[in-house]
Structure 1
């Protein structure tokens, strides 16, 4: 044995002694991939205890060298180094020792090089498959913010906020950012960004809390962030908090801009406090801000919603005096306000004035005015405006058609509504299928099923196919008009299109057939119902029993009554008494007693009306007997 072999043998013996000593202290046994005792630090993450045995492992297998190896790979600035390192970490089982604290240590070493910090953080998340904790996120956010890489910092800040929103991280993001700022370089603008990140995902309350904490710690958010916060609070109707934020702006010296005043004007208009609005506008002008088009539109819209058209028109005139030209929104608000007040003529005058001043009306303005005319029953004017709209190259939408059809319907003039829709179809305008459904249903309600059916055929080329609801309305309308054969044809058409008739459809046809003395046909339809698993209801049962009793078909009526009771557990006393009354009228007491006995066995019990019918039958039978005697 040479000297080198002796040295190796001696080293191996020393390693074995260390392993034995380690085992006596209940440490983990030494192996290529798992040789460390694991402790838990204050935040619950696992971290390895420094162990002298690690020094006997190769450098790339020593968990204590992981941070240095990663920093070295990052320093080389080559992604290939990270890929090789990733393979080494996985192959040697070091991934379980790569905890949150190691991630933080690498980030802190890279804080002067934001590119390396960003590359490392993305590598950990996307390639290594390790989930960074809140502190890791906060450190990389601080590093990126300090180096003015605001877009990436905002991206990670939004991710952290999303983790909190989804309940994956139960932490105070503000406090986490604040505590981690003591470990690295940082910029106060990160807290301004945090407010925006909360508002971006509609976490307005969290944004408000972040604002208050930012101010409390002596940091000033930007006016843009404050405006975003005011807008979010306004949408949630937190007007009191809006004024708290505004007061805080004055205290800390964040100067409002015109956007700030417009948001607060909107808040005052929502609170419906006109006096406060006027006072606030005076203050706005005292601070050097002139009301702009947004301010005026906010006020005009508010006045119009409240029906204060005199004030709205006065403000409209003031706009011209002050050199602020009303825009499309201004005119739309005024036209809508006049239409709601029933003053369509003034609304139309404004409409013409708007066009004279070079503003082209849009679909909303046309629809507003057409709706006003329809509301006042001025259908000729509404139709004329529709033609003007089409002449300007605008397509009537679902709302346009809907208000016109409803307007004609209010005047009991559905024929004009049908003609209007078919005219639009002829000019190749796309009419919503909902309009067809509405119009067909309206014709059915007016008991004009043949007109409704004709309309269906007329618009079938528009790829219109009636659904269950329209078929149901049409069938019921035919039945109300005593055309059961037309209804039966439509039901067959439904079945051929794989549309399943419902209980209402079957009920309408059965009642119509029974009313017209075709109870046996109704029986066949009732059997079809049961085959299609459509449950019977009491109305269907009563229609069938009444129909057979009117046709003096006692046997069929009795059979159906037993069938309903035994198969569907329908024990209807009305049906039972209908048959009792039929038998009482025949004065056949033996037959009546036999029927009553049979029905009692099925589960029917007589009531007071049953007894009355039986007594009437007995009296009639006695009278017949005396006459015959």
Structure 2
């Protein structure tokens, strides 16, 4: 029935219950079942609406209903409100309640609050469980001292560590590069009767390979299979990567073939490792054949695989350019532009060192010296590269040089510079640039305005953002729900709720309907302001008007 009625049906169903079940002795059970059902179908806002009605009727919810809600809300601040409601109502908690709260606090990056909560429930009827301890330990930010302290606490409270506990500790030691301690834990696990699982082996394999101890990793890999565990994609990929780093490309390819025969489809990490390994060994023809086979197999290749090949091709291209000159031939503008685009593209993707940018500038000078004219695309490419390198001074020098050579800036040029100033430079300079471009009657596109609007919202200047927003609307650009959502989200993050409401009303006045994202953002922002009653009232209103959808 609930699935048929759908999200937002709580108000009508509550009215039905009020009229039909008020005199029943079991009305408490019926209301509780409704709240629990909404929660289990992940219609959380409807479940909260029912709880508010139950509170008005002086009816209590069961701990099962509360636990279900806590679980669904564990990534939000509202979880804590529900937990406080449990305490206020006097509802007896179960062993799962505290585990859910600890997990929720950790998910919200409230680690210290989670620790305090764990300390608070020590000695209670349902004290901390191994699940709670494991959750805390897994979020201890690499502090092994803190994690080991919790294992001592576990012993004090008679809580036995499980395989998850050991895996967390082993991973912690590996992150610190202390592989010996991790291997000691492996022996302890075996001596205490634990059967290592795939996660246990994967953690150790990764650490051994990173430490260059690939031979030991291979032995552990064999042990894993001898114990009846089937290697998965991650364990295969780790070993393939480790072998390639050691220069054992042939052995890695054999393992790759074995993985495919086992019905495990390799991921981009394995492909990258083999491709890079072949290139490092100078086996470029094999690397090309391997790359072509990946392309022909209709795999969705990531940009890094292409960049590995481009990296080699750029070096080859530079050699070809030198060869052209040696043979007394003059490179054309297309020759230089092609080479420059390759250099700058690598910088943009973060896959080459700073000197490639300087070399691009040298090529630019070389082109001008030979009477060749780079086009706007060439300048845009290198200007964007310097913006991403956070060198705005050089980016504007190139912009001035572009104007000096009578090249009209394109909308892409303007967008690159405005975005660069907003992200890496001074927002006042971005304002000045935009005004200057407007004065010069240069046609700016929507991206220029949305960039400025978002930047001013993020920096806490909603008035300036509103000015640009109105300009954008006046220029006839289509303003979508995403544009409003971006502005409202940034204002809510800075707790500028009056301004957020202004944009919300502006959106409605232009006939744009709000969506779930905007409603959730505003709801959480009101919550952070400490207006709990307003949260539930607003939530109820949103459901009535269909503004919240689970």
- Calculate the TM-score normalised by the size of structure 1: 0.46
What residue in structure 2 maps to residue 161 of structure 1? 6
Task: Give 2:58's match in structure 1, choosing from 204, 218, 240.
Answer: 218
Tell me if 1:453 matches 2:453: no
Task: Give 2:96's match in structure 1, choosing from 242, 248, 259.
Answer: 259
What residue in structure 2 maps to residue 370 of structure 1? 205
Residues 347-395 of structure 1: per-residue CA shift (max 9 Å, x gap):
1111121122222212111111222223344333333322322333333
Deviation at 1:469, TM superposition (A): 6.6
- The 1:197–1:366 alpha-carbon spacing in structure 2 relative to 1, beyond 3 Å, is same
- The 1:230–1:540 alpha-carbon spacing in structure 2 relative to 1, beyond 3 Å, is closer
Task: Give 2:15's match in structure 1, choosing from 176, 182, 186.
Answer: 176
Task: Give 1:420's match in structure 2, choosing from 232, 235, 252.
Answer: 252
Deviation at 1:210, TM superposition (A): 2.3
Tell me if structure 2 keeps the 8 A contact 1:374–1:382.
Answer: yes
Tell me if 1:360 matches 2:202: no
What residue in structure 1 maps to residue 266 of structure 2? 432
CA distance in 2, matches of 1:311, 1:458: 49
What residue in structure 1 maps to residue 220 of structure 2? 385
Structure 1: which 4+ aligned runs deviate by more than 6 Å?
Answer: 182-186, 457-460, 462-471, 507-510, 605-608
Gaps of at least 5 residues in structure 2 are: 342-363, 374-402, 407-550
- The 1:266–1:360 alpha-carbon spacing in structure 2 relative to 1, beyond 3 Å, is same
What residue in structure 2 maps to residue 539 of structure 1? 337
Task: Give 1:204's match in structure 2, choosing from 44, 64, 71.
Answer: 44
What residue in structure 2 maps to residue 578 of structure 1? 370
Deviation at 1:335, TM superposition (A): 1.3
SS at match of 1:402: helix
What residue in structure 1 maps to residue 27 of structure 2? 187
Tell me if structure 2 keeps the 8 A contact 1:437–1:466.
Answer: no
CA distance in 2, matches of 1:255, 1:542: 69
- The 1:353–1:472 alpha-carbon spacing in structure 2 relative to 1, beyond 3 Å, is closer
- The 1:196–1:379 alpha-carbon spacing in structure 2 relative to 1, beyond 3 Å, is same
Deviation at 1:444, TM superposition (A): 6.6
Task: Give 1:334's match in structure 2, choosing from 169, 174, 177.
Answer: 169
CA distance in 2, matches of 1:364, 1:201: 31
Deviation at 1:480, TM superposition (A): 5.1
What residue in structure 2 maps to residue 293 of structure 1? 130
Residues 472-495 of structure 1: per-residue CA shift (max 9 Å, x gap):
56864664565xxxxxxxxxxxxx
Deviation at 1:345, TM superposition (A): 1.4
CA distance in 1, matches of 2:59, 2:40: 21
- The 1:517–1:213 alpha-carbon spacing in structure 2 relative to 1, beyond 3 Å, is farther
- The 1:509–1:189 alpha-carbon spacing in structure 2 relative to 1, beyond 3 Å, is farther
Tell me if 1:246 matches 2:97: no
CA distance in 1, matches of 2:327, 2:274: 29
Number of corresponding residues: 349
CA distance in 2, matches of 1:206, 1:280: 31
Pairwise CA RMSD:
4.7
Q: Name the structure, 1 or 2, with higher relative contact order (CA <8 Å, separation 6+).
A: 2
Q: Larger radius of gyration, structure 1 or 2? A: 1
Tell me if structure 1 keeps the 8 A contact 2:170–2:182.
Answer: yes
Deviation at 1:159, TM superposition (A): 2.4
Tell me if structure 2 keeps the 8 A contact 1:447–1:478.
Answer: no
CA distance in 1, matches of 2:121, 2:372: 83
CA distance in 1, matches of 2:120, 2:14: 36
CA distance in 2, matches of 1:325, 1:519: 77
CA distance in 2, matches of 1:466, 1:276: 46
SS at match of 1:235: coil
CA distance in 2, matches of 1:315, 1:574: 64
Deviation at 1:160, TM superposition (A): 1.9
Residues 291-319 of structure 1: per-residue CA shift (max 9 Å, x gap):
443344334434xx333433433443554
CA distance in 2, matches of 1:308, 1:335: 12
CA distance in 2, matches of 1:418, 1:339: 28
Residues 47-71 of structure 1: per-residue CA shift (max 9 Å, x gap):
xxxxxxxxxxxxxxxxxxxxxxxxx
Tell me if structure 1 keeps the 8 A contact 2:39–2:68.
Answer: yes
CA distance in 2, matches of 1:183, 1:255: 25
- The 1:179–1:515 alpha-carbon spacing in structure 2 relative to 1, beyond 3 Å, is farther
Tell me if 1:236 matches 2:76: yes
SS at match of 2:70: helix
CA distance in 2, matches of 1:453, 1:244: 60
Gaps of at least 5 residues in structure 1 are: 1-155, 483-506, 527-535, 544-571, 582-604, 609-629
- The 1:576–1:352 alpha-carbon spacing in structure 2 relative to 1, beyond 3 Å, is closer
What residue in structure 1 maps to residue 431 of structure 2? none
